[in-house]
């Protein structure tokens, strides 16, 4: 997000700012739906959101 100058309000694919903040802090995880939406938005494979990729 920092690389692209995005803030918590700039990823509505995930949800509201509060949810995005919790995901970024590690208190919540991305769901399969979040990953699918983000992969579509950024034109990347959903596998990019998993460790080791």
| Per-residue confidence band for 45, with pLDDT thresholds at 50, 70 and 90 | very high
Instruction: Report the C-alpha gap between 52 and 4 in whole angstroms.
Output: 22
pLDDT for the residue 3: 84
E-strand stretches of the chain: none
Tell me the two tokens of residue 15.
């949800």
pLDDT for the residue 50: 83
Cα-only R_g, the chain: 11
> Which stretch of DSSP H or E encloses residue 34?
helix 32-42
pLDDT for the residue 1: 84
Instruction: Report the C-alpha gap between 12 and 9 in whole angstroms.
Output: 7
7-33 pLDDT, tens digit per residue, is 999 999 999 999 999 999 999 999 999
pTM of the model: 0.80
């Amino acid at each position: 997000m920092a690389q692209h100058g995005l803030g918590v309000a700039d990823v509505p694919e995930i949800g509201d700012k509060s949810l995005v903040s919790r995901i970024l802090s590690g208190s919540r995880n991305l769901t399969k739906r979040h990953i699918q939406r983000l992969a579509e938005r950024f034109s990347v494979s959903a596998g990019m959101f998993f460790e080791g990729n």
